A and B are shown apart, each in its own frame.
Chain A
Amino acid sequence: QVTLKESGPVLVKPTETLTLTCTVSGFSVNNPRMGVSWIRQPPGKALEWLAHIFSNDEKSYSTSLKNRLTISKDTSKSQVVFTMTNMDPVDTATYYCAGMQGRGFDPWGQGTLVTVSS
Chain B
Amino acid sequence: DIQMTQSPSTLSASVGDRVTITCRASQSISRWLAWYQQKPGKAPKLLIYKASSLESGVPSRFSGSGSGTEFTLTISSLQPDDFATYYCQQYNSYWTFGQGTKVEIK
Q: Which residues of A contact B (CB under 8 A)?
A: 37, 39, 46-49, 52, 60, 62-63, 96, 98, 100, 103-106, 108-111
Q: Which residues of B contact A (CB under 8 A)?
A: 1, 34, 36, 38, 43-46, 48-50, 53, 55, 87, 89, 91, 94-100
Residues of B contacting A48 in the complex (Cβ-Cβ under 8 angstroms): 97
> A46-B99, A49-B94 given. 13 additional CB < 8 A pairs?
A39-B97, A47-B36, A47-B38, A48-B97, A49-B89, A62-B94, A63-B94, A96-B43, A103-B50, A104-B46, A104-B49, A105-B34, A105-B95
Cβ contact within 8 Å between B34 and A47: no
Cβ contact within 8 Å between B44 and A47: yes
Cβ contact within 8 Å between B97 and A46: yes
**Cβ-closest chain B residue relative to A4:** B43
Residues of A contacting B100 in the complex (Cβ-Cβ under 8 angstroms): 46-47
For A104, give its contact among B1, B34, B96, B99 (CB under 8 Å).
B34
Residues of B contacting A60 in the complex (Cβ-Cβ under 8 angstroms): 94
Cβ contact within 8 Å between B97 and A47: yes
**CB of B55 to closest CB in A, whole Å:** 7
Residues of B contacting A104 in the complex (Cβ-Cβ under 8 angstroms): 34, 36, 46, 48-49, 55, 89, 91
